[in-house]
Every structure is written in C-alpha cells, then in structure tokens.
Structure 1
Amino acid sequence: MQAQEIRIYNTLTKEKEVFEPISPPFVGLYVCGPTVYGDAHLGHARPAVVFDTLNRYLTHLGYKVRFVRNVTDVGHLQGDADEGEDKIAKKAKLEQLEPMEIAQQYTDSYHRDMLALNTIKPNIEPRATGHIPEQIALVDGILKEGFAYEVNGSVYFDVLKYNETYKYGKLSGRVLEELMSGSRTLDGQSEKRNPLDFALWKKASPEHLMQWESPWGMGFPGWHLECTAMSTKYLGHQFDIHGGGMDLMFPHHECEIAQNNAYFHHDPAKYWMHNNMITINGQKMGKSLGNFITLQELFSGTHPLLEQAYSPMTIRYFILTAHYRSTLDFSNEALRAAQKGYIKLINGLRIAKMLTYTHEDGYGIDEKQVEQVNHSIEQAYRSMNDDFNSAQAIGHLFNMLKKINSLYTGQLKPALFGEKVFRELIAVFVLFVEEILGLVEEPQSHQKALLDMLLKVYAEAKLAKNYHKVDEIRNDLKTIGVAVKDMKDKIDWAYEE
C-alpha cells in the first residue's frame, strides 16, 4: 500500500493537521462509549459508525490500531453541578434490580446493536467499575499536585487554581470569565469553592447503591475521572486520537484535559475528533420532544415517527453519507433515499464479485476509460485522507459502480480497461464497500436456491410465451424486494430499489 498523507481536523487546534502518530505504526485510539442505563439510540450509532470507519481505514493503511472504548457503568449523575442520582442506580431502583444487572443488561443490548451495525469490537472495552483503584490513585495524585481539595468526604477539582497554570476551556473555546459570569452563584450550601469546580470523588449517602471505600470515606468516582484513568492505563499518558460526540466536548473532554494536565503535566491526546449532533426532522433529539428513537425501534419501525423499518445497514450507510463534522438530520425521506443508495452499492458489490476478466479480439485499451477509473480510485482515497470524508468517497464509489454495471450489462468490455485496471477497479470497489465503509449484504428472508428455481421457472414461462406466468413471478418477487433483470443473454436478479 502506497504511503498516504492523512489530514485530520483537530478540535483542539481548530485546524486540519497532518496525521503523525506518536509511535508509528502504532495508533492509540480512545473513544467515549455509552452510559449503560438504557437502549442504544441514534446518538450512540453515529460515533460508533464514525470511529469504526476511522479504525477500519487506518488499519487498511497499515497502522496497528489499539482501539479502546469505555463503558460508563457508574458516576454519571442525573442532575447538573455534580448533584442528583446516578443514572444506573436510579434505573435499578425503578426496576428493582441490582445496578450491575442494569449495567450488564444494557451493555449486552448495546453490543447487539453494534454488531447489527457491523462495527468491529474495540481491542479493549474497560468498565468504570472495574477501575476504581486506578481512579482513586488519580484523585490522590491530583490532590498532591495541589489542583483539588477535599470537603466532607468529597474531592473537587479546583478549576481556578488549575487555570493559573493551564488554560481551562481550550478544547471547547470556552472563556473562564464568561463561564464564571454565566454560572449559578453558590448559595452557601454547596461544598464547592467555585461553581465550575467538578467532582473527582463524591461522598455516598448511606442509601446510595454504588459506593466504594476510599481514603476520603465511602463514595464513588466522578464521571469525568474514568476516561482519564482508563485511557492512560491502556494507551499511555499521551496517545494519538481521542474521539467522541460533540456533546462531550464540554464539560467531559475539557475536564479530562484538566485532569491529565494536573497529574501528568500534558494533554492526554495529540488529536481530538468530534462527530456532530443528530437532529430529527430538524429538531434536536430528546425524550421530551417525543422524537427519541432507539436503534431497535429503527430496525423494527415501531416508533410513531417512522413510516417503515430501516435496516442496520441502511442506518450505517446514511451516517456515512454525511461528513462526520456536519449535522446529521434523520427523516423518513432521507432514510428511504439512504436505503436506495445502500441497495445500489450492495447490488454492485454482488455483481463486482461475479465479474471476471476476459480478453476479446477487436477490443484494445481505451485510455479515456482507464483514466476515469484511475481518477475515481485516486479521489476515493483522497476523500478519506482529507479528514475521513466518507460522503465524498461514496460519490466516487458510485462512479466506479457505473463502470461495473456497464461491464455487467455488456455495454463495456473488460478488455477496454486492460487486465490490471479492470482488477483494480473491482478490488478497490469491494474493499471500500466491505472493509472500509463496513457495508455488508444483509440476510434476506428468501434463499438463493429458491431464487434460482423461480428464475428457472420464469425463463421457461418466457420461452413458452406464457406472459401471464412471467408477470405473476415478476410481481411476486417484487413484493419481497427482488427485481428480475431480463438481459440479452441471461436472466438475473437484483434487490428492488
């Protein structure tokens, strides 16, 4: 594979930068995973697909990616300002289950949905509850560095003290003075010295379900702490890429940077990547708006806003048709268009795997055709190298697909491309669809043997000029999403668009 120069938009510097791993060919990739107190939804699908594609592409280029994605199973509070109930503990009380039962139940369902989306499992998937000692050690270290303080069994990060040495807000672009003026004034009841201070460790009330022993008494870790503890444990004190949704930029990722600088005296990641938000029919997704759609509701079509079910590969394809830094708006119209686009690519994939090179007398190499194929291949790679623009790459794949379809129908002959370019066209198209974009043919209710039999009956009816039977078979197949393709020298099928 020829060396590729990749440019990444670094949220930290607000610029596209040439990707230069700290220790090539190894790449450390850390992505914030789910808080497992409910079923996976659209907000979980986008970062999962985006960073899975990033992982796939870097691996294709020859990098050895260590992909770490955490599972938050403690410490994520319902309220603001480090107040409220732990989300998992609250769910456990409602369902009268142990918190770890809730965490396991929704971790399993998350894995089920990620498998359906054809995402590759991370190399390491640590849980917050499995790394309590590491988090306690981190809190203790930040205290000793003078950037935290303990009050009544809770430990808080001192943002103003930190800002004297480092810059708090440099990732999100927040200005400390503006944050201060916009924050709620302490009413004398809070333990914090400043409203912006955040919990590293929280004292647990006697009825709190999830709590551990610590030097400061029984308690539980703050939400931001786990990612610093686990990313540094498995990827080192500084690694290559930290990813996640834009909604995590502040305060979660900002607090991670502060924790890392306070203890290790440098930023945790060299490059920060954030996928943009999801809207539904132009509105922000939220339970209060009635437009909160889980992946299982999408796959089954059971949500009131859905006009039909949309398969996992349709969802994956749709996510990839927008650049990861752009807003992604879900609507039935857009999803139906994505369904058609996905089917066209998968039909092309099936055809590409059937095509073979044959030399025919009278056909020499057509330099224009060769140039067009080479241009499409070059541009597909160039798109991915330019901040992983999968949307543009898909456009170039469709240019390749036009050639593949023309070869299939006989409008173009393989000899026009020459064997080398012909094989490269097929190989790159298959590679991008399956290995890089992660799109696969989804199981259908019909079996290949049944289709072959029906097409044989179709051909016999056509030969016998039994056009009533021909139309009947064609219409029956159409109802299950299969289109009959009548060609000059054969009869084949494709998924109905």
Structure 2
Amino acid sequence: METTKISLYNTLTRRKEEFEPLTPGRVGMYVCGPTVYGDPHLGHARPAVTFDLLFRYLRSLGYKVRYVRNITDVGHLEHDADQGEDKIAKKARLEQLEPMEVAHYYTERYHRAMDELNVLSPSIEPHASGHIIEQIEFVKRILDAGFAYESNGSIYFDVEAYNRKHDYGRLSGRNLDDILTNTRELDGQSDKRRSFDFALWKKASPEHIMRWPSPWSDGFPGWHMECSAMSTKYLGERFDIHGGGMDLMFPHHECEIAQSTAALGHDSAKYWVHNNMITINGQKMGKSLGNFITLEELFTGSHKLLAQAYSPMTIRFFVLQAHYRSTLDFSNEALQAAEKGLDRLMKGVETLAKIGSAAASTVDPAELERRCAAAMADDLNSPMVISALFDWVRIINQLADGQQTLAADDLERLRATVHRYVFDVLGLKDEKAAGAQGGRDLVTPLVNLLLDQRMKAKADRDWATSDRIRDELTAIGIRVKDRKDGYDWELE
C-alpha cells in the first residue's frame, strides 16, 4: 500500500487534517444517501460523484474501504424533521401504491442514474426500513443515558440536557440561543419540552401508513436516527469518515452527532466531509423556482432550461472541474465548456494510445504523476488533477507530431499514469467507445471514414475535395488536426 500523506478538510474542526485511519490499511466511510420519493436530480449528482472520487482514490492507494451509503425510505417528513407527512407515504397515498413500492421504484431509478454517472456501488447500502430494531435499541441507549424523554408515546432528544455536558452545535457553529431564535413554532410541537428538541421516535397518527411496534407506541423513527444506528452497526462505534452534502450539516448531521455521542459516550466519526451545493444560474435549485432538473432531463435535454442534452460523463466532468468544497454554478455555457473539455481529454487519451516510442525521452512523465498525486492528496483537488492532465494533453499532441519523444519505459509510465487518474481515480469513461453506454458508437467510424477519404484526396492532390470535407466537418463542430502520419479530430 502507498504511504501517501493525505489531507482532508474536517468540517468538525474547520481545518485540513492529515488523514490517519483508525485501523491501518482500512477505512470505514459512511455517506448519507438519497430519500427515495422522486427522480434523482442534479443535486444528487454532486455528493455521489464527490464521495465516489474519495472512494476510488483511497482504493487506488491500497486501502480496503468499507463504504456505507444509506437509503432513506422512512422517517423523512414533509414539513419538518418532526412534523408533517412522511414523503414516501404521501407519494404512495397520492398514487395509490404501497410505500415500499414507491421506495423500490425510485431506488432503482437512482441506481440507474448512478450507473450512468459511473458511480461505483457502495460496499453496503442499508435501508432505514430494514433497521427499525437497531434504531429502537439506539433510542433505548439514549434514554438510559438521560438525554431523552417520552411524551405521549413519542421520544424526544433533550438538547438542553445534552448541551450541559457536551456541545450541541459544534459542527454547524450554532448555539442554542441562535437555534431557539430561528426555530419555527409548528402545530403539534406541544409534545416537546422545547422547540429545538427533536424526535427520536414518533408515535404514528391513525392515518399514518408506515408504522412499527416499539416499547413506547406504534410509530416510526425520526429522520436523524437511521444514520446513527446504521453507521455504528456496519462500521463500529468509531469509524473514519462521515460524508454528505453541506445542506445536511444542520439539522441532520448536528442531531446525528448529538444522538451518537449521547448513546456511545464519544464521537463516532473522526472526519466529517461535506460537499458544497450546486446552484443554477446563481439560484438555489428548487421546484418552486422552476429550475429543478432531474438527471434524466439532463441526459435527454428535455427540461426547458436546457439548450441541449448532456451526456452523463459531461455531468461527471462538470462536477469534478470544481473543488468539492466550492459552490458549483450550473449553466448551459458551463456544461458546454465541460463537454468540450472532456472531449479534448479523451482525444488526448486516444492519441496517447497511438504514439510509438523513441530511443530517448525529451519529457519526464514522472512530472504528471507528481502533480496529480500532490493534488489528490491536498483535500481531493480534482480541478488541479484535470489541469495537469490538460497540460499533458498538449505534450501528448507534441509527441504525436514528433516535437517531443519518449523512450519505451517512459511511454508506458505515461500511459499508466493517465489511465490511473482519468479512469481509475476521476472515474471518467470514453462514451464514444463502442459499448460505452451499452450501444454502438456510430460517430467515430463515420468521421474516420470521411477523414480517410480526405487523406486519399490529399494524396491525389485533390485539394478541393480535401478542403470541402474539412470545412463541412468544421461546420458541424468537428475540428480536424493534420498530423505527420495521419490525422486527429475533436469536438469543438
């Protein structure tokens, strides 16, 4: 295993820290997955790609990673963490389906979208509904520790009691006065002692569909409880990394830290890693704003805000072009730029495969490895990896033109480095390659056929035909590059 020193920004301590797993050579990572009551959307893409990048990178260094990503199929209420109708139950009622029918349908939709984005499956993908017993036992531990109370069949976390011994708000930087000031008073909160207390177990109303027996009532677990119960079940009471979107920092992750600390007597996750949000033309994504775009709409170009369809790898490359902790603003212009950048990179990979070796090297491929390794070790700096790869695409083109040379060993080293970072770490794939999306690539052979005809025309000194083929390809967005030994092309 490589001994690379990695730094990760720990949201809990608000600084970059050297990553040291609790168990040498092994990493336990828990990431909050989707609530499955609707089609996967653009907001799902960023955490999925971010933590897939981390998963791939750690594995590339030789770590054995147990990656747990949950599925929320119960307990996520419509209006508030403690009030309102369960989102999946509401969908089931409106569509006259069983709640688990809804959950299964949208879980499968999510999986298909993740496959399109080339996101690896996690090691374990537990469902909240399959771990009710573990959640009940976790609530019992919190009650026994004196940090929760029963009220009319529901169990609430006593934030004030917890705060006297621990520090509630340390992840998000909030204090109880701020929370109290900004907490909405909602109908039905009279069961709580204080408005900022949160539900660990909710007694189900008579019309509530999803319900299970417990020592306190027939009901269901609070939204925050599933992650505490399932992360410790599969990763132990102490594990390495807990991840998710920045929108989950408060209240979800704050409450999760409080629950776990109350039950266990100590922190569970050593590093908290959060990706930032995707905005659309500078606005937060939301259905009410009309800018809520599903991944299927992106792939087909069927949303009114889209100028065209964008391939899954364009979306993945777009996400990776920004550091995971920075805000990422979606626009057609940004995605079109990502599409061109991805095509340029894949053309470089294709050109590299065709280059022959020379007697001596005029460039050092170790420089690319050093730059990529340093960037990834510096808090997953994927934009700097991409920048280094683009610099070497230019050198690869010089190699193809004979302006630079590589000896056989150095050529193989360059190919291995490019493959590692483009495909293994960044997780990109060549969508033009035959079968990349389960079908045939018709564009590449047709363009190559035309360019072969152009080469023949040039050999016959038929400059009119040669120029016409080049100009017509340019008109449809294909730029032709003449080489000493043939040609190359890329999308503009």
> The residue matched to 1:115 in structure 2 has which SS?
helix
Determine the structure 2 residue equivalent to 1:376: 368
What CA distance in whole angstroms lies between the structure 1 residues aligned with 2:160 and 2:39? 38
Say whether the 8 Å CA contact 1:238–1:267 is kept in structure 2.
Answer: yes
**Per-residue displacement from partner, 1:377-410 (whole Å, max 9, x unpaired)?**
2121111111111111111111222211111122
Determine the structure 1 residue equivalent to 2:436: none
Task: Give the deviation of 1:302 after TM superposition.
Answer: 1.3
What CA distance in whole angstroms lies between the structure 2 residues aligned with 1:476 and 1:124? 51
**Per-residue displacement from partner, 1:142-161 (whole Å, max 9, x unpaired)?**
11111111111111111111
Letter in 1 for 2:491: E
Q: How is 1:9-408 mapped onto 2 (pairs within 5 angstroms)?
A: 9-80=9-80, 82-184=82-184, 190-359=190-359, 364-366=360-362, 369-370=363-364, 373-408=365-400
Is 1:438 matched up with 2:427? Answer: yes
Task: Give the deviation of 1:100 after TM superposition.
Answer: 0.9
Say whether the 8 Å CA contact 2:2–2:62 is kept in structure 1.
Answer: no
**Per-residue displacement from partner, 1:440-478 (whole Å, max 9, x unpaired)?**
111464165555544433333333344454455445655
Say whether the 8 Å CA contact 1:68–1:125 is kept in structure 2.
Answer: yes
Does the C-alpha gap of structure 1 residues 28 and 480 become closer, same or farther in structure 2, counting only changes over 3 Å? farther
Alignment length, in residue pairs?
Answer: 485
**Per-residue displacement from partner, 1:148-188 (whole Å, max 9, x unpaired)?**
11111111111111111111111111111221233346889
Task: Give the deviation of 1:195 after TM superposition.
Answer: 0.5
Say whether the 8 Å CA contact 1:400–1:429 is kept in structure 2.
Answer: no
Select between 246-255 and 419-428 the one with higher mean Cα deviation: 419-428
Provide structure 1 residue ranges, at least 5 long, that are not aligned to the other structure. Answer: none
Determine the structure 1 residue equivalent to 2:491: 496
**Per-residue displacement from partner, 1:18-40 (whole Å, max 9, x unpaired)?**
10000010000110000001111
What CA distance in whole angstroms lies between the structure 1 residues aligned with 2:97 and 2:474? 47
**Per-residue displacement from partner, 1:394-447 (whole Å, max 9, x unpaired)?**
111112222111111222122xxx444333222211211011001111146416
Task: Give the deviation of 1:326 after TM superposition.
Answer: 0.6
What CA distance in whole angstroms lies between the structure 1 residues aligned with 2:196 and 2:233? 27
Letter in 2 for 1:459: M
Task: Give the deviation of 1:353 after TM superposition.
Answer: 2.3
What CA distance in whole angstroms lies between the structure 2 residues aligned with 1:448 and 1:318? 23
Task: Give the deviation of 1:271 after TM superposition.
Answer: 0.2
Letter in 2 for 1:283: Q
Does the C-alpha gap of structure 1 residues 322 and 190 become closer, same or farther in structure 2, counting only changes over 3 Å? same
Letter in 2 for 1:384: M
Say whether the 8 Å CA contact 2:457–2:465 is kept in structure 1.
Answer: yes
What CA distance in whole angstroms lies between the structure 2 residues aligned with 1:188 and 1:332? 44
Say whether the 8 Å CA contact 1:186–1:194 is kept in structure 2.
Answer: no
What CA distance in whole angstroms lies between the structure 2 residues aligned with 1:35 and 1:188? 24
Is 1:424 matched up with 2:413? Answer: yes
What is the aligned-residue RMSD (CA, Å)? 2.0
Select between 392-401 and 181-190 the one with higher mean Cα deviation: 181-190
Does the C-alpha gap of structure 1 residues 192 and 394 become closer, same or farther in structure 2, counting only changes over 3 Å? same
What CA distance in whole angstroms lies between the structure 1 residues aligned with 2:188 and 2:430? 61
Task: Give the deviation of 1:349 after TM superposition.
Answer: 1.3
Q: TM-score, normalised by structure 2?
A: 0.94
What CA distance in whole angstroms lies between the structure 1 residues aligned with 2:491 and 2:222? 51
Determine the structure 1 residue equivalent to 2:455: 459
> The residue matched to 1:199 in structure 2 has which SS?
strand
What CA distance in whole angstroms lies between the structure 1 residues aligned with 2:94 and 2:273? 36
Does the C-alpha gap of structure 1 residues 494 and 269 become closer, same or farther in structure 2, counting only changes over 3 Å? same
**Per-residue displacement from partner, 1:198-240 (whole Å, max 9, x unpaired)?**
1111111121111111111211111000001111111001100
Provide structure 2 residue ranges, at least 5 long, that are not aligned to the other structure. Answer: 433-439
Say whether the 8 Å CA contact 1:261–1:267 is kept in structure 2.
Answer: yes
Say whether the 8 Å CA contact 2:49–2:316 is kept in structure 1.
Answer: yes
Does the C-alpha gap of structure 1 residues 357 and 266 become closer, same or farther in structure 2, counting only changes over 3 Å? same
Say whether the 8 Å CA contact 1:352–1:430 is kept in structure 2.
Answer: no
